[in-house]
Amino acid sequence: MSLEGQRTQMVKEQLQARGIVNPRVLAAFRRVPRHVFVPPQLVSEAYTDHPLPIGGGQTISQPYMVALMTERLRLQGHERVLEIGTGSGYQAAILAELALEVYSVERLPELLADVSDRLSGLGYLNVHLAAANGSLGWPERAPYDAILVTAAVPRVPQPLIEQLAEGGRMVLPVGPAQGQVLMEVHKRGGTVTEQPLIGCVFVPLIGEYGWPAGGEAPAP
């Protein structure tokens, strides 16, 4: 089967069959070539139903998890979105299809050169990249209508709450390193509420409001 055929099958069997219904989200997954964002030796696995390593101890997430997190942001097309954990750039490309501007922060600068080339080569000019401590967000470009965190945190980072616009939402995995709960966070009237979605396992977010390199949770 061609890569395009595999991508169509992925959308049908991995996303729609599991309840992803937003037509804009489904269309984005049909358009973005996931195989461009995986290492060359893993292209044959690009549309399979599991995460894949991309180097530096990082992964490109399972397609369904990317779709679920994206759908829960409920993007309409006018939003400014912050992504924490650029990784391969695949999630950023999906967001670029759905939002006005995407600001993506990655701790490992060696990943960003390839990501920049991939995104510009595919025509995504509305993605802005920075090498920085993702747990601190990107305060210079705040506020954001939506925030998506692609690595696990022990608790919702306070800087990200502060950078989330009134009425905005954030989706992120929260919990211990062994396994987390995907949380949807809302900010309304200055009040923050958290809604648990599903269990998940992500690589840890390293940083002041994430996990230190040694793996122990920071003090509350």
Report, as residue numbers or ranges, the catalytic residues: 61
**Residue 113's pLDDT band (cuts 50, 70, 90):** confident
In this structure, is residue 50 part of a structural domain?
Answer: no
The pLDDT of 134-148, averaged and rounded, is 97
The model's pLDDT over 119-139, given as tens digits with 9 standing for 90+, comes to: 999 999 999 999 999 999 999
DSSP codes of every residue in the chain: --HHHHHHHHIIIIIGGGT---HHHHHHHHHS-GGGGS-GGGGGGTTSSS-EEEETTEEEPPHHHHHHHHHHH---SS-EEEEE--TTSHHHHHHHHHSSEEEEEES-HHHHHHHHHHHHHTT--SEEEEES-GGG--GGG--EEEEEE-SBBSS--HHHHHHEEEEEEEEEEES-TT-EEEEEEEEETTEEEEEEEEEE--PBPBSTTSB-TT-PPPP-
The range of the structural domain enclosing residue 81 comes to: 56-200
Answer yes or no: is pLDDT of 3 > 70: yes
In a domain, 51, yes or no: no
Q: In this predicted structure, what is the pLDDT of residue 151? A: 93
Dump pLDDT digits (tens) for 50-103: 999 998 888 899 999 999 999 999 999 999 999 999 999 999 999 999 999 999
pTM of this prediction? 0.94
Q: Which pLDDT score, from 0 to 100, does residue 214 have?
A: 56
In this structure, what CATH number is given to the domain that contains residue 159? Answer: 3.40.50.150
Number of folded domains that form the chain: 1
Mean pLDDT of 154-158: 96
Task: Please check whether residue 83 lies inside any domain of the structure.
Answer: yes
Please report whether residue 27 resides in a domain.
no
